[in-house]
Amino acid sequence: MTDLPGLPSRRSFLKASAAGAALSGFALSAKAQAPQPPVPLDQYEREYLNGVEWAFVLAAVSRLIPSEGDGPGAIEARVPVFIDRQLAGDYGAASDWYMEGPFQPDADPLRGWQTPLNPAQIYREAIPLVDQWCTDQHGAIFADLDDDVQDAVLTALQKNEAGLAPELKDFFTILLANTKEGYLSDPMYGGNHDMQAWVYVGFPGARANYKEWVDRFNVEYPLGPVSIKGERA
């Protein structure tokens, strides 16, 4: 079969089928529509994160949602791309938030966001400090540590025991929240690649029409997800 210019390659489709387990009939058209595979993460053109930060985020999210076991990990879901784009946008800049002083970053956590820094600044300031802390404690930056040491560092960050200043104390909280957001949000934001995380948990995405399913009690919904842009998985 000859591949036609501008249309998906038959060969790349077959490759995709072989790679994906248990593809449904809907998946056929999804793969057929996919114009080209995404840029590998190491060639991705970053919008906000610098090289050091990118290496940290890649390593951290791969421990927060690891690849092992069933379902995609954060790397397969391309969560780092999502985080990079979010930090480059109005979320990173906290453009909707009230960011006037005076600030009280050491306030009781129950009182919410009280640092003068926005999320993008927190990533920027916290990552080199965490890398330095890892070097002091473990002899290498975070990305170069073994999995179990990385897990121990993330646990220390979670408990605020990694020596970060109060201005940066929300770093782990937003890193984890952003990782889950990138895993489970619509793929148009760069994460949840191929809607694999939705397939894994069983969320049908933007189908948004279940009138006939209200009273089908205790019957598993059979259809896979669609995205806002109309892709299917």
Partner 1 sequence: MARQEKKRDVVIVGLGWTGAIIGKELADEGLDVLALERGHDQDTVPNFQYPDMIDELKYGIRLKMMQKPSQQTVTIRRTESETALPYRSLGSFLPGNGVGGAGTHWNGLNWRPQAEELRLRSYISERWGEGIIPEDMTIGDYPVSYDEMEPFFTRFEKVAGISGTAGNLNGQRREGGNPFEAWRSEEYPMPAMPTTYDGHKFAEAARAMGYHPFPAPGGIASTSYVNEYGMQMGPCNHCGFCERYGCYQYSKSSPQTTILDALRRMPNFEYRTESEVLRVEMAADGRTATGVTYFDEKAGEEVFQPADIVVLASYQLNNVHLMLLSGIGQPYNAVTGEGVTGKNYAYQMNGGVTMFFKDEHFNPFVGTGANGMCIDDFGINNIDFGAEGFIGGAYWRSGQTNGQPIRSMPLPSGTPAWGADWKAAVGEWYGHAMSIGTHGSCMSYATNHLDLDPTYTDRHGRPLMRMTFNWNPNDIRMTQFMKGKAEEVARTMNPDLMQSSFKSEGAQYDVRPYQTTHNTGGHIMSESPTTGAVNKFSQAWDKHNVFITGAGNFVQNIQYNPTGLVGGLAYHTAHAIRTQYLSNPRNLV
Contacts with partner 1, 104-143, as mask; x by CB under 8 A? x--xxxxxxxx-----------------------------
Choose one: 14-22, 37-45, 129-137, 211-219; the region binding partner 1 (CB under 8 A).
211-219
Token pair listed for 161: 């025991």
Choose one: 29-37, 39-47, 130-138, 194-202; the region binding partner 1 (CB under 8 A).
194-202
- We find the least distance from the C-beta atom of residue 78 to partner 1, in angstroms, to be 14
Note whether 84 and 46 are within 8 A (CB).
Answer: yes
Residue from 180, 181, 230 nearest 205 by CA: 230
Helices 147-158 and 51-64, axial angle in degrees (round to 10): 90
Selected binder of partner 1 within 45, 96, 136, 148 (CB under 8 A): 96
The answer to the question of residue 21 lying near partner 1 (CB under 8 A) is no
* Residue with smaller CB distance to partner 1, 28 or 99: 99
- Burial zone of 127 (CB within 10 Å; 0-12 exposed, 13-18 middle, 19+ buried): buried
The answer to the question of residue 159 lying near partner 1 (CB under 8 A) is no
Note whether 97 and 146 are within 8 A (CB).
Answer: no
Enumerate the β-bridge partners of residue 232: 226
The answer to the question of residue 23 lying near partner 1 (CB under 8 A) is no
The answer to the question of residue 223 lying near partner 1 (CB under 8 A) is no
End-to-end CA distance of the chain: 25
Selected binder of partner 1 within 39, 132, 165, 202 (CB under 8 A): 202
The answer to the question of residue 95 lying near partner 1 (CB under 8 A) is yes
Mapped onto helix, strand or coil, the DSSP state of residue 186 is coil
- Pairwise CA distance, residues 220 & 30, whole Å: 22
- We find the least distance from the C-beta atom of residue 137 to partner 1, in angstroms, to be 20
Token pair listed for 91: 């979320």
- We find the least distance from the C-beta atom of residue 6 to partner 1, in angstroms, to be 25
Task: Enter the DSSP assignment of 131.
Answer: H
Residues near partner 1 (CB under 8 A) are 63-66, 68-71, 73, 91, 94-100, 102, 104, 107-114, 151, 154, 158, 176, 179-181, 184-186, 189, 197-198, 200-211, 213-221, 228, 230
